[in-house]
Amino acid sequence: MEDFFQKPKNYKINEGFRYVEDNLYCEEIRVCDLLDSEVSGQTISSPIYVYSKRQIETNINNYKTEIQKSGRSMQLNYAVKANMNPFILKLMKKHGVSLTLVSGSELRLALKLGFGPGSLVLNGNGKLDWEVDLACKSGVLVNVDSLFNLKQIIRVCQAGGYVAQVLFRINPDIDPDVHSYLSTGQNGCKFGITSEELEEVLQIAWESERIRVVGLHCHIGSTVHDVENFRQSTRILVDLFEKLRNRFHEMTILNLGGGLATPYKEQIMVPEKVKHELHLEFDNCTEPNKLKLYEDLINNRITLPTFVSMLQSFSGRETTVSKIRQYLHKEMVVPKPADLINSVSDILPSDTIAILEPGRSMVVNSAILLSRVLGTKLSRKKNYIVIDGSMTEIIRPCLYGAYHHIELAEPSQVNVCHQSALVWDIVGPVCESADFLGKDRKLVTPHEGCGIAVFDTGAYCSSMSSNYNMRVRPAELLIDGDKVEVIRKCETFENMMHCYDVCNTD
Ligand code: LLP
């Protein structure tokens, strides 16, 4: 049997990242060359977030192309909470993407960057008066999340003399089969108007001259793998929309939320069962193009999802593909924007505008966190790779048990005879046992100082980062071909102390 993945990595991950002989590249840059380099007069030290502009633009275009193909009237609103870096927001604006916001500060930033207020959406189950005031004064769409939120909007608008443009956020009671923290549209969760409050909300909204109801909204959760869930929630929204139209004549918008899953596990090693299936199928194969594909896989020139999708294009391979698929983790092959859009297009009334508000799927695969290995530690129970990145830059593994793929970003310099892969936990320096980035990962032993990449950190990593243990937030670099731009400076000790007067007066 061929030993998969003992060969140097030479595969393309996406439009932004690829391996060449075990060296990770972001566009035209070998990422480890960034460490300790000078960019615009700043010394870049690890850890750093490295973003690919090309991959962000690819993600935007994927959505835009599918929207166009659907022939439906749809507006794309990027959910800023996934990553608020103003450079990314400017890129969204350049490509005609609007924004969904969850706080007054996100709204201030959007307005500062010149986004048209009429297509921005302010969402939230606990809005502050000033946030509601700014949104309504600016003509931003506001999601009504509850009875008290509606009363608050009316009160604020009365004081300011505005009319609010609102969408009702509906709780469709759908279980999207995701981590419980990421489920937002089930009965009993804190988001959306409850069925108990709905009638009173409708009545008050109808009677108020300060409220202009323009549509409905729902968001069932995040990392949703089965697009049937979106179809179901859209159906519920459409049914209610048809019922309410007689009362609220100005309703034209159906905001379907975000939440599409992304393939966090697309680079994982070929599972044993899949290897077995492949050997049965290909060991005596004589068809040159299929054999070539198989050789590419076992020689680490393509990833398993690429292999499966290319195999699919050869006719007559459906049984192999479906056999392989049953052994693949759901985070390896996920639905695409096309699947999401196709799942809802035919049930949308023709005279409505649908808003899609993806966050993760627009940016997640556009970035890595690049760290250095501080050292390794072996023991009978666990082996550790200790790196300089930590839970303060990537909280998702600790908070949700989330998987982020981790690979060395350059060849290990540890003596080749010690190079059989061991199983490691990859941990950071934070004083807390929850500070892990990956558990039980098979990797060759890295040398001290070796570059190591944590993948898929474009969404909910930088935006959820913290100063715990007084760690400074890292720099963020944007790669565009062979150009490198600092899109966020590394924080300093002084930045962290800025709000503490006792230190500033010393
Ligand atoms: N719209 C609304 C109303 C939302 O609440 C969210 C995310 C989105 C859109 C975007 O969802 P996305 O396409 O990014 O899945 N911190 C978690 C994710 C929480 C998302 C909450 N809402 C994580 O790291 O996985």
Per-residue pLDDT tens over the stretch 45-62: 999 999 999 999 999 999
Higher-pLDDT residue of 279, 72: 72
How do residues 151-162 score in pLDDT, each as one tens digit?
A: 999 999 999 999
- Which of these, 355, 365, 377, 349, lies nearest to 448 by C-alpha position? 377
Residues 280 and 135 grouped into a single domain? no
Confidence label for 127 from pLDDT (cuts 50, 70 and 90): very high
Higher-pLDDT residue of 3, 330: 330
Does any ligand 1 atom lie closer than 6 A to the CB of residue 82? Answer: yes
Q: Would you say 386 and 427 are in contact if contact means Cβ atoms under 8 Å apart?
A: yes
Residue 467 lies in a domain: yes
Residues 150 and 85 grouped into a single domain? yes
| pLDDT at res. 330 | 82
The domain of 90 spans 54-263+333-362
Name the percent of the chain lying above pLDDT 90.
84
Distance (Å, whole) CA 128 – CA 158: 16
Residues 96 and 242 grouped into a single domain? yes
Residues 145 and 246 grouped into a single domain? yes
Does any ligand 1 atom lie closer than 6 A to the CB of residue 123? Answer: yes
Q: How many domains does the chain have?
A: 3
Amino acid at 410: E
Does any ligand 1 atom lie closer than 6 A to the CB of residue 460? Answer: yes
| pLDDT at res. 180 | 94
- Which of these, 462, 354, 464, lies nearest to 121 by C-alpha position? 354
Widest CA span in the chain:
78
CB neighbour class for 410 (10 Å; exposed up to 12, middle 13-18, buried from 19): buried
Q: Which two tokens stand for residue 297?
A: 């896989």
Q: Which residues are identified as catalytic?
A: 431
Confidence label for 278 from pLDDT (cuts 50, 70 and 90): confident
Residues 224 and 186 grouped into a single domain? yes
Of all protein residues, whose CA lies closest to atom 9 belonging to ligand 1?
Answer: 258
Residues 293 and 277 grouped into a single domain? yes
Confidence label for 421 from pLDDT (cuts 50, 70 and 90): confident
Residue 2 lies in a domain: no
CA–centroid distance, residue 82 to ligand 1 (Å): 7
Distance (Å, whole) CA 49 – CA 71: 37
| pLDDT at res. 1 | 44
The average pLDDT across 467-474 equals 98
The mean-pLDDT minimum among 3-17, 95-109, 372-386, 432-446 falls in 3-17
Phi, psi of 123 (to 5 degrees): -120, 160
The average pLDDT across 448-452 equals 98
Query: Which H, E and C letters describe 159-190, residue by residue?
Result: HHCCCEEEEEEECCCCCCCCCHHHECCCCCCC
Residue 8 lies in a domain: no
Residues 68 and 24 grouped into a single domain? no
- Which of these, 206, 102, 100, 217, lies nearest to 154 by C-alpha position? 206
Which of 77, 122, 356, 360 has the most ligand 1 atoms within 8 A of CB, as the residue to mutate? 360
Distance (Å, whole) CA 141 – CA 152: 15
CA–centroid distance, residue 446 to ligand 1 (Å): 35
How do residues 318-374 score in pLDDT, each as one tens digit?
A: 677 788 888 888 888 899 999 999 999 999 999 999 999 999 999 999 999 999 999
Does any ligand 1 atom lie closer than 6 A to the CB of residue 257? Answer: yes
Residues 430 and 482 grouped into a single domain? yes
Residue 11 lies in a domain: no
How do residues 66-102 score in pLDDT, each as one tens digit?
A: 999 999 999 999 999 999 999 999 999 999 999 999 9
CATH code, domain with 344: 3.20.20.10
CA–centroid distance, residue 135 to ligand 1 (Å): 21
CA–centroid distance, residue 304 to ligand 1 (Å): 27
**What is the distance of C-alpha 328 from the center of its chain?**
21
Q: Which two tokens stand for residue 456?
A: 């898929």
Residues 357 and 421 grouped into a single domain? no
Does any ligand 1 atom lie closer than 6 A to the CB of residue 176? Answer: no
Residues 294 and 376 grouped into a single domain? no
Residue 234 lies in a domain: yes
Does any ligand 1 atom lie closer than 6 A to the CB of residue 360? Answer: yes
Give helix 228-244 / helix 337-345 axis angle, nearest 10°: 40
